[in-house]
Chain A
């Protein structure tokens, strides 16, 4: 967990200080796409090879999926309710203003 935070901060600092050559910086979008795919493949591998998870899916899996869906739907609705009460986005003109 700590290492992840360090990686993020290092990236922010390097991006802010423009420490990377432009050509390399242009590549980060492609790099993160490839990274996401690799990450999901590995996470899938972890789920698929975990006998405890697979065995559990048969018995209490339906309940677990119901709970998970309810938590997701509840949290999305809560954010929509918050947005209706408090503006989360800064005003459009402020967003559009150049740096």
Chain B
């Protein structure tokens, strides 16, 4: 499974780089990605709805379900603060980069507007990397650190792009927890990035 996933990503990057993707596909790639996502989320929804145990698990977690995105937000920002300090960057700048939580388009644009084009570009690339690295690391984290830790790497993307991966590697009983996690982190990006920088 992980080999298939990495292979799909690698073939896509190579095809995109060498211009092997047909112009018609290339022109509509945003639409196609959204279409594939909707189809996937519909499929995940079917699994959630068809398995009533999942809804009961979310119910049994109660208020604890909100703790997961909050500690992931804190952990992400702490991590980039540490690296930023080592690189000699201002604390606010490095914290704001971490508060993108993988939502590269929004965090990049926000920081380019609020601070500088350079910081915007770094936030954009950092959060593209977070999404790509998550795709690679989710299977490993799922195996060695457990289902809840496997939700952490994806950050805000666990409500869409990385949700199917999480479901594949830890099972559909984490689907709603992961979706909610991504939803809360996505809502935090436009609040925290301007506050921190």
Contact = CB atoms under 8 A, between A and B. Distances in A.
Say whether A associates with B: yes
Contacts of B168: 32-33, 36
A15 B49 contact: yes
Interface residues of B, number: 95
Contacts of A77: 75
Interface string B17-50: 1110100011001001110111111111111111
* Chain A interface residue number, banded: 35 or more
B183 to A, nearest CB: 9
Contacts, number: 284
B98 A72 contact: no
Contacts of A44: 8-16
A35 B50 contact: no
A66 B97 CA distance: 12
Chain B at the A interface: mostly helix, strand, loop or mixed? Answer: helix
B32 A68 contact: no
A64 B123 CA distance: 7
A15 B50 CA distance: 4
A41 B11 contact: yes
Contacts of B71: 75, 78-79, 81-82
Given A31-B43, A60-B121, 6 more contacts: A32-B167, A42-B32, A44-B8, A70-B79, A83-B148, A89-B148
10 contacts: A1-B186, A14-B45, A15-B51, A40-B8, A63-B122, A73-B79, A75-B152, A79-B151, A80-B145, A82-B71
Interface of B: 1, 4-5, 8-19, 21, 25-26, 29, 32-34, 36-53, 57, 60-61, 64, 67-68, 71-72, 74-80, 82-84, 87, 94, 97-98, 101, 121-122, 124-130, 132-135, 137, 141, 145-146, 148-149, 151-153, 155, 159-161, 164-165, 167-168, 179, 186
